[in-house]
């Protein structure tokens, strides 16, 4: 069984996993931040949908648990955004830009 790559080349599962592992090692902190933000948005949307559903079905115990989860997920999301902003600022300074730009 061959697995197609983005370039259209077909590789064996062993070669695919080797390339995938190398790609995961080469992920930059900035790329990881974007991935984490996207993941947090998905989790937040799932929690919000769960809150609406449990409110409409009057499953109060689950509604209360989801409110706690919403708080924790929102704090994690804000933390990730702050880290991403700091990385962007650090990258700008490393390139010779000023803080005011």
- Tens digit of pLDDT per residue, the chain (101 long)? 888 888 888 888 898 889 888 888 888 888 888 999 999 999 999 999 999 999 999 999 999 999 999 999 999 999 999 999 998 888 888 887 655 54
Compute the C-alpha angle 45/46/51, nearest 5°: 95
Alpha carbons 72 and 94: distance in angstroms, whole number = 33
């Amino acid at each position: 069984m061959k697995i197609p790559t983005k370039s259209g080349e077909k590789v064996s599962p062993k070669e695919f996993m080797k390339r995938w592992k190398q790609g995961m090692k080469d992920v930059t902190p900035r790329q990881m931040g974007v991935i984490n933000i996207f993941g947090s948005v998905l989790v937040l949307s799932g929690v919000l949908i769960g809150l609406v559903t449990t409110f409409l079905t009057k499953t109060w115990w689950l509604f209360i648990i989801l409110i706690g989860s919403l708080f924790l997920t929102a704090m994690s999301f804000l933390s990730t955004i702050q880290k991403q902003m700091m990385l962007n600022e650090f990258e700008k300074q490393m390139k010779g830009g000023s803080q005011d730009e």
